């Protein structure tokens, strides 16, 4: 839901403020796709682990979870640094 709101409302409003903001929001939207794909992979890996609780399935789920954690921490840090103050400055909200 968080990313859907940003993609549909916040990023378009910020993109209208100039080309530099559009570059930032384009990157953030691209990262949303990466997060989504990792979530889909994690769900599949967790379902496989439930069906067959073995070391290989556990390792696969752990690897995907770790990748998701790294991507999210990077994404959220970039998002906060790049647009946190701008949302208040421009009065952009949902």
Average pLDDT over residues 50-78: 98
Residues 6 or more apart in contact with residue 52 via CB below 8 angstroms? none
Q: Does 94 score more than 80 pLDDT? A: no
Task: Compute the half-sphere exposure of residue 76: CA atoms within 13 Å on the CB side of its CA.
Answer: 8
Token readout for 41 is 């992979």
Supply the pLDDT for residue 93: 82
Q: Does 67 score more than 80 pLDDT? A: yes
Say which DSSP state 9 is in.
I
Q: Class for domain 26-89, per CATH?
A: mainly alpha
Token readout for 64 is 């995907």
């Amino acid at each position: 839901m968080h990313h859907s709101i940003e993609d549909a409302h916040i990023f378009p409003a910020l993109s209208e403020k100039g080309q530099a903001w559009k570059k930032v929001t384009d990157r953030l939207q691209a990262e949303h796709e990466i997060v989504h794909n990792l979530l889909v992979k994690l769900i599949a890996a967790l379902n496989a682990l439930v069906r067959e609780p073995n070391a290989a399935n556990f390792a696969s789920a752990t690897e995907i979870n770790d990748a998701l954690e790294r991507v999210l921490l990077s994404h959220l840090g970039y998002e906060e640094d790049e647009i946190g103050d701008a949302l208040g400055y421009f009065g952009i909200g949902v």
